[in-house]
Amino acid sequence: MPTRTDREVPRRKIADHRGVHINFITAATVEPTGSISLETRGRRAPMTLKRLGHGAIGDQLGQALLRSLHINGGTWTSSETVRTHAHLAATFARWLRDEAGIEDLSDRDLSPRLVWEGIRCCARQGGGQRNLRTLLADAMPHLREDGDIYRDFLHARALPVDVHRIEGYSPDVARAIEEVARNQVADWYSRHRKVVGAVLGALPKDWLHLSVEDLVIRREFESSAFRIERGDLAAAMVLLALADDKGPNLATIQSYTSDSVERASEDAAFVNGVKARNRQVLRTPAPAGGLFSYGGLLEFVTAATRVDRHFRDHSEDFDRLLFIPTGGNTVMSAPDVNRWWRSTERTRVLATPNQIYPDLLSFRRLRKAALLRGRRHGHGIIGQRQASARLYLADAVPDVILIPGLLETQRSVTSYWRTRSAGIPRPNDAATETTPPEEIDRLLNAEKVMDVGVAACVSNGQSPIDPEKPCGLGPVACFMCPNGFRTPELIPGLIAAVEFTDNVRKYEPQEWLSGEAALLNQLARKTLAQFPQHQIDAASEEDITNSRALIACVYVETRIRG
């Protein structure tokens, strides 16, 4: 099954029957009123987006949105992405009408600078501004003879990159939240077990694994007894976010289906889901030795929802999703979970009056809390490879997350490079005609060496100008710096640099024009050309993927710092 990290597979072709990307768009139509109707894999009824503006601009922006969808040859696959862009587009249409009296993007009075001013005014953060700019830049050539000028003008403008700092819940708060969720899930387990026993007359050992047919054919069966409550699902979702320190994000939890758990042994399983942002298929080993283990909890939710899922009768995807309450139109969301959380306030206060709880739950903070707990035990986190888990960086490009303090999180790899450099020819060897002996000695004798993706830095990431300060010159400077060395072990990082910058050119053309991505791409390609092809072919996909996360992080952080 292809994954996001398969370089030859487009994102929109990635799918897996064991997990469902609930916001994946399957159809889109324009209603007579000008509204847009989106059908997705995880909703019973279509999502409707209101007309984006009065006059011609409403139709123009609506058609631009439709052209951006993967089903029409674009790249957008998620209804949430479309909804966010639709809100930005509608805001821009109102701004343009109020500020300039323009309701048509082909209006002669509309100038590129006015469009740029509207982008900056209608979105507060860099990410929103970037998305609105891309939408308008793509739309203009379809609407104006001089649309290419507008497109090039907009893409040539630089925008800030948002810095996301997520602070995980403290260990005691995470434990307290987990305890509340456990109590709710334990009560659900007892209630469901009792109902199954009543239907069957006696409870067999394999009651969790009985087929739905074994239950519905019984005379004592009543579908109302198997009703799935929102509070039970909410508690299970919170518990999954923390269970066994796996730390899946909310979209991964939402993607779980009745086929997601594969038993590997009595106390272990593989759990399959989908990472929504890049639709990477995740197959994760997980403990499954009890109700509160990661795999065991998902197995129980699968069993507890089997009757309700049997009667949904909508579509194959929708009928297999786990976290949909009885009669629900879509999968449980963060607001749904927080409604349950607020309802538990009185019980929480009475049970633990001295414990401090958050007013609302954040799945991003739960995920970070699981990451921090897991690091102490050497656990991995769902959706992140070992090299990038420490950085809390998703491996999608170009949707990189800025990681402050990268230099502090990197371990010294001096001994590694000394070992790897032992095979470099010494001064009396013929090969040293192209390898100055003093450079070999610098690498072998360096006190500390840091792997920065495109080079082995013998100053351990410190500035070549001021050794007391971290270097902020960026990966391009590594190719000119006397402290940077490139050996065959750097080949995965060089390939990753080419892939990362190719993605910048494809998805962020304005960054390609205004930043250092184009130069980094050229330098990495020319350096790779110096290595034998068989060494390049031997680079593993996993090493390249890990290096891509590092390259993205170094590039973005030094870009902002500069």
Q: What is the DSSP letter of 484?
A: E
Widest pairwise Cα distance in the chain: 90
Helix (H) or strand (E) holding 420: helix 414-421
Greater confidence (341 vs 533) lies with 341
Closest CA to 253 of 277, 269, 225, 275: 275
Render pLDDT for 258-306 as a digit per residue (tens, 0 to 9): 989 988 888 888 888 887 654 566 778 888 888 999 999 999 999 999 9
Exposure of 186 in the CB half-sphere (CA atoms within 13 A):
8
**Domain stop point among 344, 369, 394:** 369
Exposed e or buried b for every residue in 307-332, given b needs 16+ CB within 10 A?
A: bbbbebeebebbbbbbbbbbebebbb
The number of helix segments (H) and strand segments (E) in the chain equals 25, 9
Exposed e or buried b for every residue in 385-413, given b needs 16+ CB within 10 A?
A: eebbbebbbbbbbbebbbbeebbeebeeb
Say what the pLDDT of residue 267 is: 84
Pair 321, 362 in one domain = yes
Q: Cβ atoms within 10 A of the Cβ of 520, count?
A: 23
Task: Evaluate whether residue 394 is within a structural domain.
Answer: no
- pLDDT of 2 > 50? The answer is no
- As a whole number, mean pLDDT of residues 97-115 equals 93
Pair 72, 136 in one domain = yes
Task: Evaluate whether residue 106 is within a structural domain.
Answer: yes
Pair 191, 135 in one domain = no
Pair 222, 138 in one domain = no
- pLDDT of 418 > 50? The answer is no
- The CA distance from 422 to 446, in Å, is 13
Pair 116, 257 in one domain = no
Render pLDDT for 346-400 as a digit per residue (tens, 0 to 9): 999 898 989 999 999 999 999 888 887 776 554 454 544 444 444 333 322 222 3
- pLDDT of 461 > 70? The answer is yes
As a whole number, the mean pLDDT across the chain is 80
Task: Evaluate whether residue 466 is within a structural domain.
Answer: no
- The CA distance from 488 to 484, in Å, is 13
Residue pair 325/230 in contact (Cβ under 8 Å)? The answer is yes
**Residue 335 tokens, joined:** 């607001």
Say what the pLDDT of residue 541 is: 83
Residue pair 7/71 in contact (Cβ under 8 Å)? The answer is no
Pair 128, 185 in one domain = no
Task: Evaluate whether residue 376 is within a structural domain.
Answer: no
Task: Evaluate whether residue 180 is within a structural domain.
Answer: yes
Assign 357 to helix, strand or coil.
coil
Task: Evaluate whether residue 62 is within a structural domain.
Answer: yes
**Residue 265 tokens, joined:** 């042994």
- As a whole number, mean pLDDT of residues 11-24 equals 61
Task: Evaluate whether residue 358 is within a structural domain.
Answer: yes
Pair 231, 184 in one domain = yes
Pair 203, 339 in one domain = yes
Number of structural domains in the chain: 3
Taking the CA atoms of residue 311, residue 314, residue 317 and residue 318 in that order, the dihedral angle to the nearest 10 degrees is -70
Range of the domain at 238: 171-369
Q: Return the percentage of the chain with pLDDT > 90, whole number.
A: 36
- The CA distance from 140 to 158, in Å, is 19
- The CA distance from 130 to 123, in Å, is 9
Pair 126, 251 in one domain = no
Rg (CA), the chain: 27
Residue pair 4/282 in contact (Cβ under 8 Å)? The answer is no
Pair 90, 133 in one domain = yes
Pair 196, 332 in one domain = yes
Pair 233, 356 in one domain = yes
Say which residue the tokens 């609302």 belong to: 360
pTM attached to this predicted model: 0.64
